Amino acid sequence: MLSKIFKVFSRELKTARRDSMAILIIVMPVLFAFGITLFTPGLNDTTVNIALLESDDKSHIEYLEQFAKVEIFENREDVLTRVNKRDDMAAIMQKGDGYEIILQGNEPEIVEGYAKALNALYEIGANKEETTAAMYSFGHTVSPLKTMLVNMLISMTIMLSGMLIAISIVGEKADNTINAINVTPVSQTSFVIGKSMMGGLIAMVSIIISLFITGYYDINWFMIILVGLTSLILSLVVGFVQGLASDDVIEAAANVKMIMIPIAGSIVGYELLADKWQWTMYWSPFYWAYKANKLVLTKTADWPTILLCTGMVLVLSLVVYFLAKPKIREGLS
């Protein structure tokens, strides 16, 4: 049975490689991952940029470098050119006995205030070691927005795996090949598993590549793979059902996209609903998957919670699978 599953899987991969729609689906998550990597630094970078002159007092430069990203320029002209560029930059230069702060004018108030406060602290000789405040940290090293985008990317990739299955099934229907497989020693179960492996493996590889691209190297990979595999079940079931119900690739893709509604609803529910209303989303396996992925991505996950979440995903997905099973069996006969 295993060898037959592998043969079906190999053929699926070969066919997918020759299908432009399937290629697009495979590449899309990776492109999104690059997009997130390119744009999130701009969205989340709260570092204040300060331009200083080379001739400035060395102690002044060293002090500011502790608290801001400092760029040094040879002359005043270069400083002014730099300030006038698109990003937020405050220039601090000596003027008489004191300093002047030069801004482009469209910076957030916080940039102006930060530059002023930082220079004032230098002038009075304040030292960060002198603070009386005790430090506590939640340990979040990644921006919440980036985590949310990457988590959404994982959900989208899971959905795309269903789309791959649907496209593959539509292809089988167009070629009439389901009948041909049914008169070989390959069981329907082997056929379904082989096909699912194609969608599942591509999705898992895409997720792993996307996580590397977006910089999540040091997460718990066992947890992310466990959550990914359990979340795939539902998407694959939907892929089979929609593929069997659709007559062409466009219809299949459109039908599978409907799954975006519960996915989006689950994400919005998790992110925006108050704690006391979170239970209203417990019906959705995507809610549990999103929650588990978020815990893993923020490195706050523990095994009992992950097992609870994946258990819920598994149970809810299996309920859908058993409801859809007669339809899948009938469609593949």
Nearest Cα to Cα of residue 121 among 110, 131, 111, 133: 131
∠ Cα 148 154 158 (to 5°):
145
> Is the CB of 184 or the CB of 280 nearer to other proteins?
184
Amino acid at 76: R
What is the distance in angstroms between the CA of the first residue and the CA of the last residue of the chain?
A: 19
> Is the CB of 116 or the CB of 173 nearer to other proteins?
173
> Is the CB of 19 or the CB of 71 nearer to other proteins?
19
Sign, CA dihedral 71-74-80-85, equals: negative
Spatial separation of the C-alpha atoms in residues 2 and 224, rounded to whole Å: 26
- Min. distance of Cβ 250 from other proteins in angstroms? 17
- Min. distance of Cβ 179 from other proteins in angstroms? 6
Nearest Cα to Cα of residue 259 among 293, 284, 224, 222: 284
Helix (H, G, I), strand (E, B) or coil at 90: strand
Burial of 169 (0-12, 13-18, 19+ CB in 10 A): buried
- Min. distance of Cβ 174 from other proteins in angstroms? 7
- Min. distance of Cβ 284 from other proteins in angstroms? 35
> Is the CB of 132 or the CB of 333 nearer to other proteins?
333
Nearby residues of 149 by Cβ (< 8 Å), 6 or more positions away: 36, 40
- Min. distance of Cβ 209 from other proteins in angstroms? 25
> Is the CB of 175 or the CB of 247 nearer to other proteins?
175
> Is the CB of 16 or the CB of 79 nearer to other proteins?
16
- Min. distance of Cβ 5 from other proteins in angstroms? 11
> Is the CB of 11 or the CB of 82 nearer to other proteins?
11
Burial of 21 (0-12, 13-18, 19+ CB in 10 A): middle
DSSP state of 105: S
- Min. distance of Cβ 183 from other proteins in angstroms? 4
> Is the CB of 174 or the CB of 323 nearer to other proteins?
174
- Min. distance of Cβ 190 from other proteins in angstroms? 9
Nearby residues of 292 by Cβ (< 8 Å), 6 or more positions away: 223, 227, 301, 305, 306, 309, 310, 313
Site for other proteins, rule CB under 8 A: 4, 7, 11, 14-15, 18-19, 171, 174-177, 179-187, 333
